[in-house]
Amino acid sequence: AQSVSQHNHHVILSEAASLELGCNYSYGGTVNLFWYVQYPGQHLQLLLKYFSGDPLVKGIKGFEAEFIKSKFSFNLRKPSVQWSDTAEYFCAVNADGQNFVFGPGTRLSVLP
Amino acid sequence: NAGVTQTPKFQVLKTGQSMTLQCAQDMNHEYMSWYRQDPGMGLRLIHYSVGAGITDQGEVPNGYNVSRSTTEDFPLRLLSAAPSQTSVYFCASSYSLNGQAGITEAFFGQGTRLTVV
């Protein structure tokens, strides 16, 4: 069965610091990869997605992620975080064309 | 477009009560699913549907029923509520491209916060 792990449960950063959130998945075949963000009290929104092609994908709000197939990883990055990036971030995998498997989430707190 | 609409937003039930969480989407998406979100566990799939009349179980289906009589609606029924079903429930829909649903993202509703006492 597919599984997704996220390295950090809670990350605390100051504004302007750089961000990297780790995501690893377990599945040997072709996968589609996603990062979702959930702002406090809101539903999940798509940040970015990878289907094929350039392994470095850019999403909204200055986020990017790099797919490293050999490491089964899809880490999320942002060069300079803002207070408004405070949210919970979920990595997700879709390998069978139907269902998404989500990681446990990483809570990001950005201090002003 | 309204997207994915869930009702109610909040609900408190007593143990043993039954209720239905409603989910509707107006994007003509074939795929719909229900997840529950619990702290530290991410989102876990309860049930899903690949089209009207077709449903299947996800990771945590016990205690829940679904049906899909139309493309638009995918209600989730709690048969006999238990405190372990206290959670936030999200409905999601997605569509296929070239026959592969996984290459499009899931669109989520606003969630239903359910408390079972």
Tell me the per-residue pLDDT of B52-97, one tens digit each, with 9 for 90 and over: 999 999 999 999 999 999 999 999 999 999 999 999 999 999 887 6
Taking only the tens place, the pLDDT of each residue in A2-25 is 789 998 999 999 999 999 999 999
Q: What is the pLDDT of residue B98?
A: 63
Q: What is the pLDDT of residue A38?
A: 94
Mean pLDDT of chain A: 92
- Band the pLDDT of B108: cuts 50, 70, 90: very high
Nearest 5 degrees, angle CA B94-CA B81-CA A99?
A: 20
Asked if pLDDT for residue B102 goes beyond 80, the answer is no
Q: What is the pLDDT of residue A27?
A: 83
Chain B: closest CA distance from residue A31 (Å): 8
Per-residue buried b or exposed e for B31-70, using 16+ beta carbons within 10 Å of the residue's own CB? bbbbbbbeeeebbbbbbbbbebeebeebebbeebebbbee
Q: What is the pLDDT of residue B103?
A: 57
Q: What is the pLDDT of residue A99?
A: 80
A-B interface: how many C-beta pairs under 8 angstroms?
61
* Mean per-residue pLDDT, A32-61: 93
* Mean per-residue pLDDT, B26-42: 91
Q: What residues of chain B lie within 8 A of the CB of A4, using their CB? A: 42
Distance CA B13, CA B81 (A): 7
> Who among A49, A51, A90 is closest to B42 (CB)?
A90
Asked if pLDDT for residue A97 goes beyond 70, the answer is no
Q: What is the pLDDT of residue A28?
A: 75
- Band the pLDDT of A56: cuts 50, 70, 90: very high
Can you read off the two tokens belonging to residue A111? Answer: 């201090």
Asked if pLDDT for residue B14 goes beyond 90, the answer is yes
Q: What residues of chain B lie within 8 A of the CB of A45, using their CB? A: 108
> Who among A44, A98, A104 is closest to B41 (CB)?
A104
Asked if pLDDT for residue A47 goes beyond 80, the answer is yes
Neighbouring C-beta atoms of residue B2, cutoff 10 Å: 9
Helices and strands in chain A, H and E counts:
0, 12
Q: What is the pLDDT of residue A94?
A: 86
> Who among A32, A102, A104 is closest to B103 (CB)?
A32
Can you read off the two tokens belonging to residue A103? Answer: 């990681």
Q: What is the pLDDT of residue B39?
A: 85
Q: What residues of chain B lie within 8 A of the CB of A59, using their CB? A: none
The residue type found at B68 is R
> Among residues of chain B, what percentage have pLDDT more than 90?
79
